[in-house]
Chain A
Amino acid sequence: KAGVTQTPRYLIKTRGQQVTLSCSPISGHRSVSWYQQTPGQGLQFLFEYFSETQRNKGNFPGRFSGRQFSNSRSEMNVSTLELGDSALYLCASTPRGSSYNEQFFGPGTRLTVL
């Protein structure tokens, strides 16, 4: 089975722009979670989607949004980019029925905001 894929792997944007990141979960996985990783704040939970519905949300401003499609692929969008949004954005998918709700991570998208 192919792992979690994220596109693009690297992205450079300027302040004020918006960006969309994509995540394709492992086949059969219906839950997708997003995390932001920065040197200062560490790994922080952004949100989780399951069956096209946001099921859980972290403490991030409304500029951060996401959605999930019927094929379980997910996108996250950041509008009006700020310098502090520079980070590694990780996506993780969870297999249905996993007693641990184990999350399988993708390689991440490195976003740089100039």
Chain B
Amino acid sequence: AQTVTQSQPEMSVQEAETVTLSCTYDTSESDYYLFWYKQPPSRQMILVIRQEAYKQQNATENRFSVNFQKAAKSFSLKISDSQLGDAAMYFCAYKVVSGSRLTFGEGTQLTVNP
């Protein structure tokens, strides 16, 4: 069974600084997708960034980027120039290419200090 682990229940960062959230996963599949979702206090899950396992190039979306290490089964999220609006719970998620089920990590609560 696939599992996703986020070892940092809480993280904090100063506004305008950079923070990295960690995620590791376990799978025997060779082709899959990885995602980072953000859940603000409103509880609406918002997709932040996604990565296809077969792509070696790390995904980037504006201030958000990932460090995807397939051999190590690691998928960390880097947030640059942190903003107050980035404060939220961040979930790492995994999905096999052929399936629809998202497997989520436990989440990391990010606080952004002004």
Contact = CB atoms under 8 A, between A and B. Distances in A.
Interface of A: 31, 33, 35, 42-43, 45, 48, 50, 55-56, 58, 88, 90, 92, 94, 100-108, 110
Contacts of B106: 42
Interface string B88-114: 000100010001111111110000000
B43 A56 contact: no
Contacts of B95: 101
Tell me the dominant secondary structure on chain A's binding face: strand
Contacts of A42: 104-107
A30 to B, nearest CB: 11
Interface in B32-84: 33, 37, 42-47, 50, 52
A108 B43 contact: yes
11 contacts: A33-B101, A45-B103, A50-B100, A56-B101, A58-B101, A101-B33, A102-B47, A103-B102, A106-B44, A107-B44, A108-B43
Interface residues of B, number: 21
Contacts of B33: 100-101
Contacts, number: 51
Contact of B91 (A43, A92, A108): A43
A107 B101 contact: no
Interface of B: 33, 37, 42-47, 50, 52, 91, 95, 99-107
A9 to B, nearest CB: 10
B44 A45 contact: no
Contacts of B46: 105
A101 B50 contact: no
Contacts of B47: 102-104
Contact of A33 (B42, B52, B100, B107): B100
